A and B are shown apart, each in its own frame.
Chain A
Amino acid sequence: MGLPPKLKIGLIVVLLLAFFVILNLTPAHKGVKNFFYSISSPIQKTFWAAGDSFSDFLESVFQGEKIKEENENLQLKIQQLVAENTSLQELKKENEILRQALEIGLEKDFELSFAKVIGKDLFQDSFTINKGKEDGLSSGLPVITQQKILVGKIGEVYENFSKVILVSDKESSFDVKIADREISGVAKGKGGLGLILDLLPWETEIKEGEQVITSSLGGVFPGGILVGSIKNVKKSDVKPFQTAEIRLATSLKELSNLFIITKF
């Protein structure tokens, strides 16, 4: 006595359809979903955490090579940037030096060429600079700092490099005078970065600390370039001239940028 199977099936389908249609038309379907989400949430959290860590693990395994390559590229980029940064800092320093030289009007007084010190031989009182014959340098040209302080003169000149003979070199000798006074003398290098002032007239009163500048008399250097200041004046009754030591106005050991006066 029951319904035929096909009818039974049809009835089930219709009932199901009616049930879900009604469920979807009312807010109850949200409640049903909410109920299942609530009871499933602890399991879902566990699955989620497991999936997260497992996928991270797989990612690290499969992407290890890629990460390594990326790391190498980044390292290379860092090195490039460091090199670029260093180069920019050098340029900045050079720019500051040139700016300083412009401020004291060096370019108005002389034609200048900028050079960098690339080697120092302080036992022989000489520097090597990065400018040479190709840059228009020739032997005998005066070398100064950006503060207009005398350093020496160009010695040997090569194609791209030159030797600077410092004022303290034993062979160095040039005319100088005491600043603001018409007292002339001859500055002579004594080696070891030392410089003495000789042939100062005996009768003149020389005080320590007075500034010594170049004189244009000998034609070796242009006049008015600061050399240093007087210290240890030696005056003897048996000598016709007095001598003094010159404290150089700049520390030759620390120089790294120079100007060569190409025309004066």
Chain B
Amino acid sequence: MRKLLISLLLFYILILLQVSFLPHFFLFSWSSISNLAFIIIFLIFYLCFSERPEKNSGIISALFAGFFLDIFSGNFLGIDFLGFWTFILAIIAIFIKFFLRRYVRFPLAQ
């Protein structure tokens, strides 16, 4: 539970950094969602792989991270739909959790 709360807070702070701090720096602001979405996807991968199979914090984190991205990132590729990133990240997390992890083993997985 603690790990989940920390990861949610981390996503929230990262997204706020993305929309309020990084736009000042030319290199870090290619687009509205920019590279942060990829960092978050990577973190979701990490969370999903690193947690125990019976835990669901990876999926919950993915849902909230996607939701935060939806709230703060505006439209992406012309799609203005609240829930777009929530879906994308949820599907990624579900895919890792229930399909990929069943067949692939990484050293970091517990």
A20 and B81 in contact, given A47-B16, A51-B22 (Cβ under 8 angstroms):
yes
Q: List 20 A-B contacts (CB under 8 A).
A: A6-B98, A12-B94, A13-B87, A13-B91, A16-B63, A16-B83, A16-B86, A20-B83, A20-B87, A23-B83, A32-B71, A33-B82, A37-B71, A43-B13, A45-B20, A47-B16, A50-B21, A51-B25, A54-B24, A58-B25
Tell me the complex Cα distance, A29–B82, Å.
Answer: 7
Does A123 count as interface, using CB distance less than 8 angstroms?
Answer: no
What is the predominant secondary structure among interface residues of chain B facing chain A?
helix
Q: Does A48 belong to the interface (CB within 8 Å)? A: yes
1/0 per position for A3-44, CB-CB distance to B under 8 A?
Answer: 001100100110011011101100001001100110010011
B82 near A47 with CB under 8 A, answer no
**Distance A132 CA – B25 CA, assembled complex (angstroms):** 67
B16, B19, B24, B72 pick with most chain A CB within 10 angstroms: B24
Asked if B17 lies at the interface with its beta carbon under 8 angstroms from chain A, I say yes
| B interface residues with partner A (beta carbon < 8 Å) | 12-13, 16-17, 19-25, 63, 68, 71-72, 81-83, 86-87, 90-91, 94, 98
A95 interfacial contact with B, CB 8 Å: no
Cα–Cα distance between A48 and B22 once the two chains are bound (Å)? 9
B93 CB, nearest partner CB in chain A, Å: 10
Q: Which residues of B contact A6 (CB under 8 A)?
A: 98
In the complex the two chains form, what is the Cα distance from A32 to B86 in whole Å?
14
- Per the CB 8 Å criterion, the residue count for chain A at the interface is 29
Tell me if A159 is interfacial: C-beta within 8 Å of chain B.
Answer: no
B16 touches A44 (CB 8 A): yes
Interface residue? A232 (CB, 8 A) = no
| Inter-subunit contact A23/B90 (CB<8 Å) | no
Q: In the complex, are the beta carbons of B24 and A9 less than 8 A apart?
A: no
Q: Which residues of A contact B16 (CB under 8 A)?
A: 40, 43-44, 47
Bound Cα distance A14, B88 (Å): 13
CB of A55 within 8 Å of the partner chain: yes
**Partner pick for A33 among B21, B71, B87, B94, CB 8 A cutoff:** B71
Known: A47-B16, A50-B21. 10 other contacts (CB 8 A): A9-B94, A12-B90, A13-B87, A17-B87, A33-B71, A37-B71, A43-B20, A51-B23, A51-B25, A55-B24
A residues apposed to B, CB below 8 Å: 5-6, 9, 12-13, 16-17, 19-21, 23-24, 29, 32-33, 36-37, 40, 43-45, 47-48, 50-52, 54-55, 58
**What is the distance, in angstroms, from A15's C-beta to the closest C-beta of chain B?**
11
Q: Establish whether residues B71 and A24, one from each chain, have CB atoms under 8 Å apart when the complex forms.
A: no
Task: Indicate if the CB atoms of A9 and B81 lie closer than 8 Å.
Answer: no
Nearest CB of chain B from residue A124's CB, rounded to whole Å: 71
Residue numbers in A under 8 Å from B63 (CB-CB)? 16
B residues in contact with A19, CB < 8 Å: 83
Contact B20 A24 (CB under 8 A): no
Complex contact B17–A23 (CB within 8 A):
no
Given A16-B90, A20-B86, A20-B87, are A36 and B71 also a contact pair (CB < 8 Å)?
yes
B21 and A51 form a contact (CB under 8 A):
yes
